[in-house]
Structure 1
Amino acid sequence: MELEVRHLRALCAIADAGSLHQAARRLGVSQPSLTTQLRRIENVLGAELFRRERTGCRPTSLGRAVLNRARPLVQGMNDLVSDALAEAEATRSGGPRLRIGSTASRVIGGWLRRLRVALPSTDISLRVDVSAHALLRSVEAGRLDVAFVHEVEGSPLAVPDGLERRVLVDREPQFISLSRDHPAARRRVVELGDLAGDPWMVDPTVDGEWDGVRRVLGAAGLNPPVLHGDYLTAASLVVLGEAVAPCQPTSGPRDDMVIRPLLGDPLAVRLLLVFRPGTDIGVVYAQLEDAYRDAARRASGYHEWLLRHRSPLARTP
């Protein structure tokens, strides 16, 4: 086995994440696959590169030496690919282009529509991904110009060095979706204790979401059953009263379920626009802010929350 750039990327990801589990999620591979790859790399070098501890993985002295040499090589390859892709894309398009990425959000449609009006001569493309880290890597590699991502409170994103960011919402509360006949659905604000007996539905592929929910439930002394699955499945189970699920406060009203804020807003995310240095994001950010404000006004429960908290987002610009 010869070491390749992908092996060096894996070592850097493990060091940055501090655990094989988190590194595997960022790389988009399974943990057993990454563990096997690390074992093979260590066999080639003849020594351990990371100490496996209860709290995660820490580089050994040899691991730190290898990482010091690996990081410049990985960054150099990223720069090479980024520059080549940008030059090839510019040659093909022959005009201005804007490649945007986003995690799932109710504001994407409004943002895209506004951008097409504001930048009529620009070729605009969109990529949606559940993984914020995957989008950030694409911005770093030059495959995207900007990415609109959410960062779960308590689970900070590993924004690649060199990228810039602008905060859209510093702390967006996450609401809870319930069936209409759930006892707590009659209340304007729901307490976590009201949901102690309900299974919670969480999508583990969303970076940081499961960790955030587990942290909040644990702090409240709750240990409800947790189901893992996508949010299309979650919606169907919520409607039937088989589960509750966290959701964005901009989620629109439905006849078969209710959306309620949680008392004290224990679950929250930060909304960020991440971009490469030199990118002109003035119009891009302004249209995103306008789309978000509009979505917030349309979601009556969230608009009421914004008014109660005297948020500037509740005001009409």
Structure 2
Amino acid sequence: MELEVRHLRALCAIADTGSLHKAARQLGMSQPSLTTQLRRIEYAVGGQLFARERTGCRPTPLGRTVLSRARPLVVEMRALITEARAVAARAADGAPQLRIGSTASRAIPGWLRRLRHRMPEADTSLQMDVSANALLQMVAAGQLDIAFVHEVEGSPLRLPEGLRQRVLVEREPQFVSLAADHPAARKPVVHLTDLASDRWMVDPTVDGEWDGLQRVLREAGLSPRVLHGDYLTAATLVATGEVVTVCQPTSAARPDMAVRPLYGDPLGVRLLVAARTDAELDAVYGELESAYWEAAAEAPSYQDWLLGTRGTAPPPCPTLDRIPTPVPPIEQAPAPARLPRLATGRVPPPDLGPAAAQDLRPTPL
């Protein structure tokens, strides 16, 4: 017997109601049928999932393990059905669609806000994924229109044939996130040796990140214990001092968590956006560029890094009503694109002069 979504839904209903009788009513089936189905499920997984007690049904340790995996799948399936129905309804209405895929980025909220402002008639959807390669494949297959992804240094992405790409940032340094009371948090720049006794956490499902962190730690002569987990869990453990983790420079610091650059910028990523045509890139790139630098202006540690790189202010981050037209793509930009590359290999952001620096005071979080 292979478990199906309906079986997982039944397990969740039993756990939520604590009763086979109530779960059967919720599922619209008879109690004997649900009991038979539960026995088959237990036979398939090889153990008892619920302890039948006088007061009802209680998950066994095996049951709790299965439920921890079943619940997200049931929720995702519900969301999939709801979204599919909504997409079908909108398609029937003939509204233009803009399907965006992205890996995690603080620029996304500002990007979507700007796109809604400029293209209010478009039905814009967003799909997040930890795998940049998966998103690029979806663009090539026509399932997405645009993908905004990051490429970890040393782990090139597999760009499908025929896709057009535009680089937003050639090399974005990756910072470190650590507890606010960590001794290294008192420093403006953290050396990897300052974290020699710490445990690290990394999400191994993010393309290239585990390999990148391994390389950086190995080159520093460190072999700390590394935990695997998603970055939402990592943020919680960082705040309590359990782990440290690599993070994006635009990450927001919190009262219980600090974000600092790593000495020498040992790990970097390339930020790029991909589509099937140049016209699709032109339609969204300006808003993305503005949104990215807006997010950068809200990250004091990143601003300090940028100022240290150029000795001048990063580009201004205008509010929405100050963006009449999209910003020209990088390859069409005038002077900034021809600025000399720094010895570190960074490509500095455009310098718009001292007046722009006045617009870059950190925005309160």
CA-atom RMSD, angstroms? 1.8
Flag structure 2 segments of 5+ consecutive residues without an equivalent: 1-87, 317-351, 353-365
Conserved? CA contact 2:145–2:280, under 8 Å: no
What stretches of structure 1 of length at least 5 have no aligned partner? 1-87
Query: What corresponds to 1:248 in structure 2?
Result: 248
Query: Measured at CA, do residues 301 and 258 of structure 1 come closer, stay the same or move farther in structure 2, by a change above 3 Å?
Result: same
Aligned residues: 230
Q: Distance in 2 between matches of 1:92 and 1:160?
A: 30
> Offset at 1:90?
9.8
2:151 counterpart residue number: 151
TM-score using structure 2 length = 0.61
Could you tell me which residue of structure 1 aligns to residue 259 of structure 2?
A: 259
Match of 1:190 in 2: 190
Preserved CA contact (<8 Å) 2:139 2:145: yes
Q: CA deviation at 1:95?
A: 3.5
Shift in CA distance, 89/236, structure 1 to aligned 2, threshold 3 Å: same
Superposed, which structure 2 residues align to 1:25-174 within 5 Å?
A: 92-174=92-174
CA displacement, residues 42-99 of structure 1 (integer Å, 9 cap, x when unaligned) = xxxxxxxxxxxxxxxxxxxxxxxxxxxxxxxxxxxxxxxxxxxxxx999635242211
Task: Quote the Cα distance in structure 1 between the aligned partners of 2:225 and 2:206.
Answer: 19
Instruction: Find the residue that maps to 1:242 and give its secondary structure.
Output: coil
Q: Is the 8 A contact 1:250 1:295 kept in 2?
A: yes
* 2:268 is aligned with 1:268: yes
Match of 2:239 in 1: 239
TM-score, normalised via structure 1 length: 0.69
Write the distance in 2 (CA, Å) between the matches of 1:160 and 1:175.
30
Distance 2:311 2:170 in 1: 11
Classify 1:210/1:281 alpha carbon distance in 2 versus 1 (closer, same or farther; 3 Å): same
Q: Hey, what's the Cα distance between the residues in 1 that align with 2:131 and 2:312?
A: 29
Query: What SS class does the counterpart of residue 166 from structure 1 fall into?
Result: strand
Q: Deviations over 1:193-235 (max 9, x none)?
A: 1111111100001000000000111111111100000111111
Q: Partners of 1:129 and 1:182 in 2: how far apart?
A: 31
Give the structure with higher Rg (CA): 2
Instruction: Check conservation: 1:177, 1:238, Cα contact below 8 A.
Output: yes
Q: 1:253, CA displacement in angstroms? A: 2.0
1:209 paired with 2:205, answer no
Q: Hey, what's the Cα distance between the residues in 2 that align with 1:313 and 1:166?
A: 24
**Whole-angstrom CA distance in 2 between matches of 1:307 and 1:184:** 21
In the TM superposition, residue 240 of structure 1 has moved relative to its aligned partner by 1.3
Aligned CA distance change for structure 1 residues 283 and 228 (closer, same or farther; 3 Å): same
Q: Equivalent pairs: percent with the same residue?
A: 62
Q: Is the 8 A contact 1:145 1:279 kept in 2?
A: no
Instruction: Please state how far the C-alpha of 1:313 moved relative to its aligned partner.
Output: 7.9
Q: 1:312 to 1:99 in 2, by over 3 A?
A: farther
Q: 1:249/1:230 Cα in 2 relative to 1: closer, same or farther (>3 Å)?
A: same
- 1:244 and 1:165 map into 2 onto residues whose CA distance is 33
Shift of 1:315: 2.1
Matched to 1:258, the amino acid is A
Contact 1:179-1:256 within 8 A present in 2 as well: yes
Partner of 1:33: none
Q: Distance in 2 between matches of 1:312 and 1:119?
A: 34
Counterpart residue identity of residue 155, structure 1? S
Paired residue type of 1:269? V
Amino acid at match of 1:103: T
Q: 1:313 to 1:112 in 2, by over 3 A?
A: farther
Higher relative contact order (CA 8 A, sep 6+): 1
Cα distance in 2 for partners of 1:198, 1:166 equals 37
Amino acid at match of 2:128: V
Residues 304/92 of structure 1: CA separation in 2 closer, same or farther (3 Å cut): same
User: How many angstroms apart in 1 are the aligned matches of 2:248 and 2:255?
Assistant: 17
Structure 1 residue identity aligned to 2:190 = V
The answer (yes or no) to whether the contact 1:293–1:313 under 8 Å persists in 2 is no
Amino acid at match of 2:277: P
